[in-house]
Amino acid sequence: MARPPVALQLYSLREDCPKDFPGVLKKVAKMGYAGVEFAGYHGYAAADLRRILDDLGLKVAGTHLGIEALLGDALAKTLDFNVELGNRYLIIPGLPPDYTCSLDAWERTAGVFNRLADLLAPHGMFTGYHNHHTEFQMIAGRRPIEVFLENTGSRVCFQPDNGNAMHGGGDVVPYIERFAGRSRTVHLKEFAKANPKALIGEGDTDWPRVFKACETVGGTEWYIVEQESYPAAPLESVEICLKNLRRLGRG
């Protein structure tokens, strides 16, 4: 089984990044992360970020951005930026209510993603959706994430977030398995009923089961740590996450 490298979703350090973005990237590289997934660029041009990452030996695992950045005239600008950055994965981490308010809305949303996937394909890029907890909660007897995935093609990525899914009473593993090859990048986030600040490896997740799905049928190229609550300082917390992953045989 191939073991994907581990990146950090920089939203995990959302208070630190605006203060000294290059300094934060240097600390992330020193911890031993292989790459980063962006959640904003803090005023830096793509060429400057690419140079910083190259100097630090960090790869780009993806970016989170709003759907509006891929629509209409904005798409060309987004493409230019990400080509220069060296990024292939343009992942949507949430959508306005009109995209998600009903199962019919989710079917229409799937159509939007299919069209975007076709536009990105000539550039070797992918778009996809990152789940929160609501996509695993029933609407009219069905889970929205299932409706979305059933109505999108193989070039539309499913970026599973285990912690978010468990928070909504869901389980990402059956979807990684059923929609094989579509979990190209995967968020690793802990969930613990007794501890909302649990770090990876300190909660209720069956991590070997998640890893097996990703590494056998998921098509996973990157594991991406995202930590949104902190038992210690954010930088210390994400470093502990990586150390815990290494104890689990990853990273």
What integer is the mean pLDDT of 71-92?
Answer: 98
Return the CATH superfamily for domain 6-247.
Answer: Divalent-metal-dependent TIM barrel enzymes (3.20.20.150)
Task: Report the chain's C-alpha Rg in angstroms.
Answer: 17
Do 166 and 224 contact (CB within 8 A), yes or no?
no
Averaged pLDDT score across all residues of the chain: 97
pLDDT score for 201: 97
The ranges assigned to domains in the chain are 6-247
Tens-place pLDDT, residues 143-201: 999 999 999 999 999 999 999 999 999 999 999 999 999 999 999 999 999 999 999 99
Q: Is 169 exposed, middle or buried (0-12, 13-18, 19+ CB in 10 A)?
A: exposed
pLDDT at residue 1, rounded to an integer: 62
What are the Cα distances from residue 132, in Å, to 42, 94, 145, 165? 24, 8, 10, 6
Distance (Å, whole) CA 131 – CA 180: 17
pTM across the whole model: 0.98
pLDDT band at 5 (very low <50, low <70, confident <90, very high): very high
CA end-to-end distance (rounded Å), the chain? 14
What are the structure tokens assigned to 179, written together? 């929609």
The proportion of the chain whose per-residue pLDDT surpasses 70, expressed as a percent, equals: 100
